[in-house]
Structure 1
Amino acid sequence: MTDSPKNISRNNQWEDIDARTSQRGGIAGFFESGLRRFRVGGYLVALTPLYIIGISAMGIAATPAVYFFNFVSENTHDWFKLWHYGAMSISIITGYFLYGITLVFLIPLVNFLMPFRLKPFRGNYYSLAAVPWYFHNALTYIVRYTFLEFITPTPLNVLFYRMMGMKVGKGVHINTTNISDPCLIEIGDKVTVGGSVHLIAHYASRGYLIVERVKIGKGATLGLKATVMGDVVIGENAAIGPHEVILPKSRIPSDRQPFERVGEETIPRADQPSQDFP
């Protein structure tokens, strides 16, 4: 990667990320120029709909929980206080899981109804192209930070990522919630994603936001707390070691192993480096 102080946009021309005006025309250009001139205020305005959508989705998901709590409260009101309070406490916890399960299906629906889709791009954080990135990840994080841990690893968390646009093969095991940009991630059949792995289909470089696809081939294994960043391809049956970081633009060959055993000692393989930069 040979980024200079200016980066190449989709039309292969250099884009100045410090520019205060947009190269777009019409209303889109006016709006994007506003984002760049008034960055904090502009993004507060741009993302206000996101907060409204997020709050509304969480509120709708909580509706069954509130109804259930109220139902239990009304029907146990005349019970002995200890049993009444116990029933209410159980209804609160049950309501939380009702909220979570509802949210797992509601958020992908909201994501599907968005008028824009996240696509690979590189450019300014303060641009219209970055708005779908904010929306898609914010919706994902609502589930991630409020409930997803309780259904990981189960078929439900795999289903959630599928509904968010991730391409997931058969027999995949995902034991992590640390996933961003799921709609740009492709996971082949029989892949194992270990605990606390980070899958991130974006990265930052010299002031630019780069959003690019991640592809993990069939039968690959990602070890505990490994990190895979944007613009990475991992070959079939390859293994990524625990805590290993696969940097952007890496191409990991098929059947690659991070370690080999020599007698009683395990040493890194010198002939198969973790990173394969162009």
Structure 2
Amino acid sequence: MKKHKNEDHQDLEDTPHLQDTSSPKKSSRVDLKSNRSELKGVAGIIESLLRSFKGLAFILSMAPITIVCITSLGLAITPAYLLVSSVYQFSHDFNLLGHSFLMSMAIGMGYFLYGVSIIFVVPMFNKILFLKLEPWRGNWYSLKSLPWYYHNALVQLVRYTFLDLVTPTPLNVLFYKMMGMKVGKGVMINTSNISDPCLITLEDNVTIGGSATLFAHYAQGGFLVIAPVVIKKGATVGLKASIMGDVIVGEKVTVKPHSILLPKTRLNKGDPQ
């Protein structure tokens, strides 16, 4: 597998558009082993506790999004339950074969009702929670990393329960748009391997090939780095290609199948891959 080489690779510390909240001074070294937060006040106390008791703190910090996911599932399943319940009441006096067939059909239809519902329910909660990510670099155990966890938990809930069945269709494009992805006209998305959609831009006539992977983050040197991905007009991302955070793909560029674009890559037409 061939990786794209970026000749202009800069050190992570010099990336101008990433906000480094892990240290008050960019010139100072960050001690990743320290449990002390750089934030002040109550936020600093909470973040220090988060780093001091990582296991327990992680479980507690994930409790809110767990409740949101359960509520989302409940709301999305409700139409399916109503359908199955109605068919059961209608057919319970039928013979066994007729009752079983109608109930099986209702369960199958109920699943697709759930799928369409979850595509709309999850973006609603994403907006209620104001889960809009911004470029950022810092400790994994930070308050600013929580929106990243929450946003992607909601995305994966839809992906692993239904989205693969409607990829590629206008429904999966609509879902990513509602989750904050900037999508131009004539875009085809033939993959569900997408994280951080609110930091991804697909301009007009972009094609994302089957099983390609897009994510607007990466890990480096013990830090979580959240950085946008931009794929410009007319570009094509080939089968099973991977595009990481802080990457720009130029107009009418074809990213070869199975290739990997590493962070800070700026790929223009004619550049080697």
TM-score, normalised relative to structure 1: 0.89
For 1:82 and 1:8, the matched residues in 2 are separated by 63
Question: In structure 2, do the counterparts of structure 1 residues 71 and 170 end up closer, same or farther at CA, with 3 Å as the change threshold?
Answer: same
After the TM superposition, list the runs of 4 or more consecutive aligned residues in structure 1 that deviate by more than 6 angstroms. Answer: none
Match of 2:167 in 1: 152
For 1:251 and 1:198, the matched residues in 2 are separated by 17
Q: Deviations over 1:236-275 (max 9, x none)?
A: 000001101111100001x33xxxxxxxxxxxxxxx222x
Deviation at 1:117, TM superposition (A): 2.5
Equivalent residue in structure 2 for 1:46, among 61, 67, 73: 61
Q: Are 1:223 and 2:222 an aligned pair?
A: no
3-state SS, counterpart of residue 195 of structure 1 = coil
Deviation at 1:2, TM superposition (A): 2.7
Q: Are 1:58 and 2:80 an aligned pair?
A: no
Q: Are 1:234 and 2:234 an aligned pair?
A: no
Q: Which has the higher contact order (CA 8 A, sep 6+)?
A: 2
Contact residue 131 and residue 150 of structure 2 kept, 8 A: no
TM-score, normalised relative to structure 2: 0.91
Equivalent residue in structure 1 for 2:266, among 220, 227, 251: 251
Match of 1:102 in 2: 117
Segments of structure 2 that go 5 or more residues without pairing to the other structure are 1-9
Equivalent residue in structure 1 for 2:134, among 96, 119, 127: 119
Question: In structure 2, do the counterparts of structure 1 residues 215 and 125 end up closer, same or farther at CA, with 3 Å as the change threshold?
Answer: same
Match of 2:106 in 1: 91
For 1:55 and 1:148, the matched residues in 2 are separated by 18
Segments of structure 1 that go 5 or more residues without pairing to the other structure are 257-271
Matched to 1:186, the amino acid is T
Question: In structure 2, do the counterparts of structure 1 residues 169 and 116 end up closer, same or farther at CA, with 3 Å as the change threshold?
Answer: closer
Q: Are 1:69 and 2:84 an aligned pair?
A: yes
Equivalent positions of 1:207-218 (< 5 A) are 207-218=222-233
Question: In structure 2, do the counterparts of structure 1 residues 242 and 115 end up closer, same or farther at CA, with 3 Å as the change threshold?
Answer: closer
For 2:203 and 2:133, the matched residues in 1 are separated by 21
Deviation at 1:207, TM superposition (A): 0.8
Match of 2:11 in 1: 2
For 1:35 and 1:136, the matched residues in 2 are separated by 19
Q: Deviations over 1:52-103 (max 9, x none)?
A: 1101111111011111001001100111210110000011111111111000
Deviation at 1:120, TM superposition (A): 1.1
Q: Are 1:273 and 2:272 an aligned pair?
A: yes
3-state SS, counterpart of residue 204 of structure 1 = strand
Match of 1:261 in 2: none
Contact residue 132 and residue 198 of structure 2 kept, 8 A: no
For 2:265 and 2:80, the matched residues in 1 are separated by 45
3-state SS, counterpart of residue 49 of structure 1 = helix
Match of 1:129 in 2: 144
Deviation at 1:115, TM superposition (A): 4.0
Q: Deviations over 1:15-67 (max 9, x none)?
A: 33222010111111111001100011111111101101101111111011111
For 1:66 and 1:247, the matched residues in 2 are separated by 45
Match of 1:20 in 2: 35
How many residues align? The count is 256
For 2:19 and 2:70, the matched residues in 1 are separated by 37
Question: In structure 2, do the counterparts of structure 1 residues 12 and 232 end up closer, same or farther at CA, with 3 Å as the change threshold?
Answer: farther
Question: In structure 2, do the counterparts of structure 1 residues 8 and 51 end up closer, same or farther at CA, with 3 Å as the change threshold?
Answer: closer
Contact residue 17 and residue 123 of structure 1 kept, 8 A: no
Match of 1:266 in 2: none
Q: Are 1:180 and 2:198 an aligned pair?
A: no
For 1:235 and 1:163, the matched residues in 2 are separated by 25
Match of 1:82 in 2: 97
Root mean square deviation, CA, Å: 1.5
Contact residue 161 and residue 182 of structure 1 kept, 8 A: yes
Query: How much identity, in percent, do the aligned residues show?
Result: 48
3-state SS, counterpart of residue 225 of structure 2 = strand
Deviation at 1:118, TM superposition (A): 1.5
For 1:115 and 1:165, the matched residues in 2 are separated by 11
